[in-house]
Structure 1
């Protein structure tokens, strides 16, 4: 089954409504933003991070225009050596290629070992946008439904100041 269908089926099973926008492959957040210009919702970036020893994993969701202070995030999580996870780790943990990271990748995290963080700055937004495990589509869904989706997979959503 394709990766998008898995996302769609899970959202439908939870009765979570979403708006789907199909477009050519988006290779950067700037390009993705152009494909969804004019549609209401926070343009998110989701980063998959790890510690130096690759023993801890983090999914961080924030506004795509914001930069993450890795040291501050490390202090927040009491983790040394925070960095972007490798392409191999991303595929091993969420079966995703680079550029397609989103909370929907948690559907494939067999080890259930990723901690989820959302920036407090966007938590009050009505809607958020994500690639649904493919960079040829973007989905918009209500922020509360993003949290409900993540929690349905038995993950805790940590809302923090980034």
Structure 2
């Protein structure tokens, strides 16, 4: 039996009095599939990427519009990092207990070391709501952008807004 990583998300949001909407669906394996399950519901579709440097001494969580391509060079420049790449599924599991395809800011709840830097692309910060997998690919959560920032900060992370 897989550990329930979804319930702590709901509990934390309730504790912070943050409203959200949940859509349940079959497991989504791609962003296209995930989007098809939530068609017509208002909220920017995001993709969250878990990145690391070559030596795996620093980790980055980046949230951006799922239609946008990540310009890795620009990200490196903006974060003063070098040799950044997608983190392995092993690193993802070690740091956030998540399988690939379920990465979201809610995974930060599972990061015991609090050693992940959080970045959000400025382009989506003006959106009213965002959507994520709340630590499971069988649900999509919609949350106000301002509440997402509040959630991230309440669990001990700083939100860095960057212009990708």
Which band: TM-score by shorter chain? over 0.9
Report the equivalent of 2:76: 74
SS in 2 for 1:55: coil
Give the C-alpha shift of residue 78 in structure 1.
Answer: 1.1
CA deviation map 1:6-48 (0-9, x unaligned) = 1010101111000000000000000000000000000000000
Residue of structure 2 aligned with 1:44, choices 36, 43, 46: 46
Q: Please tell me the root mean square deviation across aligned C-alpha atoms, in Å.
A: 0.7
Report the equivalent of 1:138: 140
Give the C-alpha shift of residue 114 in structure 1.
Answer: 0.3
Q: How many residues align?
A: 162
CA deviation map 1:85-123 (0-9, x unaligned) = 000000000000000000000001011100000000000
In structure 1, list runs of 5 or more residues that go unmatched. Answer: none
In structure 2, list runs of 5 or more residues that go unmatched. Answer: none
Q: Map 1:24-63 onto structure 2 (within 5 A).
A: 24-63=26-65
Report the equivalent of 1:17: 19
Q: Map 1:53-132 onto structure 2 (within 5 A).
A: 53-132=55-134
Give the C-alpha shift of residue 71 in structure 1.
Answer: 1.3
Report the equivalent of 1:158: 160
